[in-house]
Amino acid sequence: MAFSSQRTSSLLLRHGRCARFLCSSSSSSSFQEHISFIKDVATTQPPEHLCQLLGILNARGESILSPGAKQGLMPLTIPLSKSSSGAVTALLRWPTAPIGMEMPVVEVCNHGVWLLAKNVDHFIHRILVNEDANGCQSGSNELFHAASDAGDKLYKKGDFSKSGITDIDVYLLRKVGLFPDVLERIVMKYFKKGDHVSALVTGEFYTRKQHFPGFARPFVFNAQLLQKVGRNLEAKDAARGALKSPWWTLGCKYHEVARIAEWEDEQIEYKTKKLTEESRLEDLNRGKPPFQIALDEAAFLLDLASVEGTWDNSLGQIAECYKEAGLHDMARFVQYKE
């Protein structure tokens, strides 16, 4: 369900400095709904500049979605907006995120999510850099107005040209942060130039665990790159490593990675078997704590649902697993329906 407030949007665009007030006031701003949902339903801390991001997404023509409009979507996501092409931008609520870890911004796909930015500030910063680098061709400053004080803090118009850096991807990596699609573009630029050594070194850099913890996509891309240069055995190992991370973070369909890994349905069969009572008893007998078994089962269910994108079919089972693991708030969140 998409909804908008024409008056609120107009105020955000004409008076960017009012964004924080509108978001924190008792007004009927649709943005306030997201703040309340994250606090009360997702039971986590809303990003400081979420309202400004929503204003930016609205200003660039996207429809703001109700945060509870989760039907058919990967259940750990909180919808923010939908573009004219149908792409849904959302926040990702990790079930067991370390304290202080910010919610990533993702694009929701049928088979999972694609990481857009590690946090809201990085995403806002990137959008403003791109807008400035493109010369605001329409002559409009709407996105900068919508960014309000977040824009003032993160990026000043003209910083890109003043930097002396001509490649926007290089600027983003040096001045903003690491982004999967940017790193992948840089690798492919090297590859097209015939500089396979630089491509492989950058691809390896992409896979360092501290860069994108929890996401399989870097390992998938590295496997594809290794395959391109004929290092098929290493590509197979990289693909198998990728499938140890959540399948809904692969950035592509499961079977595309399984082919490189030279697996058919073995992993699907393995995870299906791990959901049986027999397997649960085996884990208990080995001394695995019940809460960990429940968390593992929730992860297996999410992985299996990602294969065909059948998220809604597994919501009840996933919620039960979180309850058994003591994560009652997560159970309510994944099952939430408007």
CA dihedral sign of residues 38, 40, 45, 46: positive
Question: What does the pLDDT read at residue 129?
Answer: 95
- The answer to whether 302 and 248 have CB atoms below 8 angstroms apart is yes
Pick from 94, 98, 116, 91: nearest CA to 217: 116
Compute, in degrees rounded to 10, the torsion defined by CA atoms 123, 193, 200, 237. Answer: 100
Three-class DSSP category at 107:
strand
Element (H, E) at 197: helix 196-206
Angle between helices 217-228 and 232-242 (to 10 degrees): 170
Question: Would you give the DSSP letter of residue 165?
Answer: -
Sheet of 105-109, strands arranged across: 63-64, 77-82, 88-92, 105-109, 112-117
- Separation CA 209–CA 212 (nearest Å): 6
How far is the CA of 26 from the CAs of 9, 31, 255, in angstroms? 16, 11, 48
Question: What does the pLDDT read at residue 138?
Answer: 53
Question: What does the pLDDT read at residue 12?
Answer: 38
Pick from 79, 25, 39: nearest CA to 57: 79
Please state whether beta strands 77-82 and 88-92 pair in parallel, antiparallel, or not at all (unpaired): antiparallel
pLDDT in tens, the chain (338 residues): 343 333 333 333 333 334 444 454 333 356 899 999 999 999 999 999 999 999 999 999 999 999 999 999 999 999 999 999 999 999 999 998 877 789 999 999 999 999 999 999 999 999 999 999 987 555 568 899 999 888 889 999 999 999 999 999 999 999 999 999 999 999 999 999 999 999 999 999 999 989 999 999 999 999 999 999 999 999 999 999 999 999 999 999 999 999 999 998 999 999 999 999 999 999 999 999 999 999 999 999 999 999 999 999 999 999 999 999 999 999 999 999 88
- Separation CA 26–CA 15 (nearest Å): 18
- Separation CA 251–CA 254 (nearest Å): 9
What pLDDT digit, counting tens, does each position of 170-194 carry? 999 999 999 999 999 999 999 999 9
How far is the CA of 221 from the CAs of 110, 117, 150, 236, 260, in angstroms? 19, 17, 33, 12, 11
Q: How far is CA 54 from the centre of its chain?
A: 16
- Report DSSP letters for 60-99, one per residue: TTPEEBPTT--TTS-TTEEEEEE-TT-PEEEEE--TTPPT
Q: In the numeric block, which tokens belong to residue 191? A: 């590859």
Question: What does the pLDDT read at residue 292?
Answer: 96
N-to-C CA span, the chain: 10
